[in-house]
Structure 1
Amino acid sequence: MCFSVRNPSVRWSYVATKLLQVLGCLFYAYYVFVRLCIPQFRSVSMQLFDLRVMVLCIFNSILPGALILFLAFFAFLHCWLNAFAEMLRFGDRMFYQDWWNSTSFANYYRTWNVVVHDWLYYYVYRDFLWMTQKRFRATAMFVVFTVSAVVHEYVLAVCFGFFYPVLFCLFMCFGMMFNFILHDRRTGPVWNIIVWTALFLGLAVLLCLYSQEWYAQKYCPLQEPSFLDLLKPRSWTCYIQSSRAAEDV
């Protein structure tokens, strides 16, 4: 049995530095939303669905989406987890690996968040193979993706206060597809560029659609919504006049 090495003492200056870095990332993320996201999505939410507007919205969301990705990674996976690992005196700090060098999505999933990946691998993937006597590896992979997608979507639904399964659909469709297409046999810088391009576009889609739904929920509230209304995206049918939106902001 392997035990994690414990540090003899806590470096409180190190803890304070990491927590201050988390605070700095939060302020930077706030600045990104105020300067790059809110002006764009507030105006987009005043219009009916249009393919041209949606494409422009997605491409305009690439830069803020990339910045939010880096801030979230640095703030949580590096600063936050290292701060608590230091306070708990854990010597093992393998929270992530060099995911930025990934030439396949399979490697990206393994290295982006090592803690979550290891939990899913040992307690979902391997246990499922053990129960099925290693006969359904593809099904085990599907179960892992489903559990991860459901948990991520649940977290977003609780934080936003509405159900809009964009992340679930992207994860279950494109995430699984890229996992098998961009596999570990893909090597070379060009595949790393493809991985980064797919990440940036996926994050832009998430940022654009969730922001539109946020403003639609704000501008077009329902007095007595039914269960079906709670499941149906409000941004598909919400349309307001620009003057009314300007008064509400």
Structure 2
Amino acid sequence: QILKIHSFVRENAGKIISPSNKSTDSQLSSEFSHFNQYLYFLYAPTLVFRDVYPRTSTIRWNIVFQMFGQVLIGTILLYHVIAYYWMPVFARCFTDTKLTYPSVITSIFDLMLPGVLFFVIGFYGFFHCWLNGFAELLRFADRTFYQDWWNATSSGTFWRSWNIVVHDWLHVYVYKDLIKLFSGNKKLSAICVVIFSAILHEYCMSIVFGFCSVIFIVWFGLVGMFLRIVFPHSKGTLWNIIILTMTPISLAVVPYFYALEISARHFPSNR
């Protein structure tokens, strides 16, 4: 909701400060937005505020029930993945008195397949079912919430396509501002966006777990920045293989280190 509030304020602040300047966006009016427009925006599956969105003519209730039904099934499947595949590995983090390289590597490999299952089910449940369900319920016509990130042949394409909802917000309110700030330096602006995105994800995780670490910042921010700097224009099948290889590793390493952090904070006697 913070991102939505920021978008609403940004799009309406200019109407108050400079009411004579008309927006070039046809979906933004020169008048201050009404409360019903803000209320619709709060539930719409987008983070970029517009006074008018493309709308469908009718609500297909069968699609609504189908999407939310699949969300329910996905939630049950995620519970089983966590309870029967993740928790036994996490239990070792809480009970092992000494960490060794073999135990760390074994735990990471044990988390890879469950991590992929968790990601695929969660991704489909949220980005496809949940967002499409709300889009259909609100007659929201723009249903491009993700693209075929699994076919990405460059790091930039991957980051742009796997979460278009957040990417649009970052592009409109962060990237464009940084372009102006850095006098059109696209490379530096893109690197800053990657770091900002990592910090934003870390902030969300700190709300969930109640503590702030640097796992997301290091793994996604620094690694993502490294890829952008070293291989800015690299494309091809090799990049797709690298992305598909790094994804399961990331889905194992990140939760494992969070489990270690929780263990160190709440079970210090085992360390």
Tell me if TM exceeds 0.5.
yes
Is residue 5 of structure 1 aligned with residue 54 of structure 2? Answer: yes
| Partner SS, residue 143 of structure 1 | helix
Task: State whether residues 104 and 179 of structure 1, in contact with CA within 8 Å, keep that contact through their aligned partners in structure 2.
Answer: no
Residue 90 of structure 2 aligns to a residue in which SS? Answer: helix
Q: Give the whole-Å Cα distance in 2 for the aligned partners of 1:6 and 1:158.
A: 34
The amino acid that maps onto 1:38 is M
Q: Note if 1:68 corresponds to 2:118.
A: yes
Instruction: Give the one of 235, 244, 250 matched to 1:202.
Output: 250
Size of the alignment, in residue pairs? Answer: 221
User: In structure 2, what is the Cα distance between the partners aligned to 1:180 and 1:131?
Assistant: 20
1:88 aligns with 2:111: no
SS of match in other structure, 1:45: helix
Pairwise mapping of residues 39-50 of structure 1 onto structure 2 (< 5 A)? 39-47=88-96, 48-50=98-100
8 Å Cα contact 2:111/2:252 also seen in 1:
yes
Q: Over residues 167-199 of structure 1, what are the superposed CA-to-partner deviations in whole Å (9 max), with x where a residue is unaligned?
A: 1211121122223445554112x3312111011
Identity over aligned pairs, percent: 35
Conservation of the 8 A alpha-carbon contact between 1:106 and 1:182: no
The letter for the 1-side match of 2:90 is: F
Contact 1:103 1:182 in 2 (8 A): no
Q: Secondary structure at the match of 1:83?
A: helix
Distance of 1:219 and 1:192 partners within structure 2: 40
Kindly report which structure 2 residues correspond to 1:97-112, keeping only aligned pairs within 5 A, or say none.
Answer: 97-112=147-162
1:219 corresponding residue in structure 2: 267
What does residue range 16-165 of structure 1 map to in structure 2 within 5 Å? 16-47=65-96, 48-134=98-184, 136-165=185-214
Is 1:45–1:239's contact at 8 Å kept on the other side of the alignment? Answer: yes
Q: Is residue 197–residue 221 contact of structure 2 (8 Å, CA) maintained in 1?
A: no
Of 122-131 and 24-33, more deviation after overlay is shown by 122-131
Q: For the residues of structure 2 that align with 1:119 and 1:69, how far apart are their CA atoms? A: 22
Point out 4+ residue stretches in structure 1 off by more than 6 angstroms.
none
Q: What is the match of residue 192 of structure 1?
A: 240
Contact 1:32 1:64 in 2 (8 A): yes
What 5-or-longer segments of structure 2 have no aligned partner? 1-24, 28-52
Q: CA deviation at 1:216?
A: 4.0
Paired residue for 1:169?
A: 218
* RMSD between aligned residues: 1.8
In 2, the alpha carbon distance for the partners of 1:132 and 1:185 equals: 24
Letter aligned with residue 165 of structure 1: V
Aligned partners of 2:255, 2:231: CA distance in 1, in Å? 24
Q: Is the 8 A contact 1:6 1:91 kept in 2?
A: yes
Q: Report the residue type matching 2:252 in the other structure.
A: A
CA distance in 2, matches of 1:41, 1:101: 32
CA distance in 2, matches of 1:155, 1:82: 23
With the length of structure 1 as denominator, give the TM-score of the two structures. 0.82
Distance 1:16 1:216 in 2: 43
Give the TM-score normalised by the residue count of structure 2.
Answer: 0.76
CA distance, structure 2, for counterparts of residue 185 and residue 146 of structure 1: 20
